Structure 1
Amino acid sequence: MQIRAGSRDDVEQIAALHVDSWRTAYAGIMPDSYLSGPLGAEKLDLWRARTAEPDPATGLFVAVDGREITGFAYTTPRSDGRILLDNLHARPGRTGSGIGGRLLRHTLAWAAAEHGGRDLYLEVLSANTRAIAFYERHGATRTDERVCRFDQGFALPEVEYTWTAKALAARDMRVGVRTE
């Protein structure tokens, strides 16, 4: 498995993996009508927009096995000075195989190198206990709880997890980060 920067050429695979991941992870959590409905078109539009004009301040990384994208991570700077890890997904059926861990370590190292001095955080649905356990195993600290309101008309409780800038620097994972 290789981790490389994602690009416009990856949009269809990323969007399809994103949809498959949500349909698997959020079954019974999000409304079935949403997961089986407009999700595919929404994610394809999202990834087309995100890759249309690449922004060097964002990070899009894909895990590749041959020609197949088996996972991806996406970060973006926020107006409060922090970096948001907005997406981290491994292909359903391949979770637990190390893809997510490798992507996360790469992303944390990239954030420390490219955005030193800034915290990196994520938001995860409270009912997604598998993801919460994963982030806690990888050193994230719970920093907030709130309700996430979706444009599609539903709301779900979520928690925020953070790696502080100090914690990112202490991981000393900058060696070998490839962002090209």
Structure 2
Amino acid sequence: MSPVIARLEPSRNDADPTLADALADLHTRSRQIAYRGLYGDAFLDHELAAVSRASWRARFENHDSARDLILAAIENGAPVGLAYASFRLNPAVGLLLDNLHVAPGRKGDGLGSALLAGVARWLIEDHASAPLHLEVYAPNASALGFYERKGGVAVARYRETVPGGRETDVVRYRWERPASLL
């Protein structure tokens, strides 16, 4: 069975905290793999799960369907991919896709592309084709390659201190025309 990409509307019908926790757990597993060696091991292994759950529960509690988007790829009742985007995270740049994660065993199945296309579709249908932005850690070569293959243009680069105290570069990508992602 192929996953179904669903738009979650926590303010209306998806307020179940178990779904927020399931997304947080997927987000945690993905980051534990992608950010190993970048984030501190103690944070990844002992703190990240609680941080993720608190963050996702807050996203569900404070969801504004006009300015926030949560997409989940659901298979057999469990999330295998997620996307979270908001106009509220960095109003100076507009929409920021803050999270795009696919379950580690499902990478390469097209879920990341489908979720990215879902965000683009929301921008086209509900936000007059506003540009899409996302930020990625520069050491995450596989993510950089994915976004560049998808036509993202690097428009900014800055330094950030990540959990564990390391400094790293962050690259902001932009898609001026989200329709190019469909």
Scaled by the length of structure 2, the TM-score of the pair is 0.87
Q: Is 1:70 matched with 2:57?
A: no
Counterpart code for 1:8: A
Mapped pair 1:161 → 2:173: yes
- Distance in structure 1 (CA, Å) of the matches to 2:15 and 2:83: 15
Aligned-residue sequence identity (percent) comes to: 32
1:83 aligns with 2:85: no
1:95 aligns with 2:93: no
Mind listing any 5+ residue stretches in structure 2 that lack a counterpart? 9-13
Determine the C-alpha separation between the residues in 1 that align with 2:39 and 2:181. Answer: 37
Say if 2:43 and 2:163, in contact at 8 Å, map to a contact too: no
Structure 1 residue identity aligned to 2:15: R
User: 1:106 and 1:117, CA in 2 relative to 1: closer, same or farther beyond 3 A?
Assistant: closer
Correspondence 1:141 to 2:143: no
Task: Name 2:11's counterpart in structure 1.
Answer: none
Out of 35, 45, 48, which is 2:44 matched to?
Answer: 35
Once the 2 structures are TM-superposed, how far is the Cα of residue 117 of structure 1 from its aligned partner? Answer: 4.7
Pick from 94, 116, 119: which aligns with 1:107?
119
How big is each residue's C-alpha offset from its partner over 1:105-133, in whole Å with a ceiling of 9 and x where there is no partner? 11111122222252210110000010111
Kept in 2: contact 1:15–1:47 (CA 8 A): yes
Alpha-carbon distance in structure 2 between the residues aligned to 1:150 and 1:92? 22
Q: 1:72 to 1:172 in 2, by over 3 A?
A: closer
Letter aligned with residue 35 of structure 2: Y
What's the CA shift for 1:31?
A: 1.4
Matched, 1:3 2:5: yes
Q: Please, which runs of 5 or more residues in structure 1 have no aligned partner?
A: 174-180
- 1:150 Cα shift? 3.6
Match of 2:53 in 1: 44
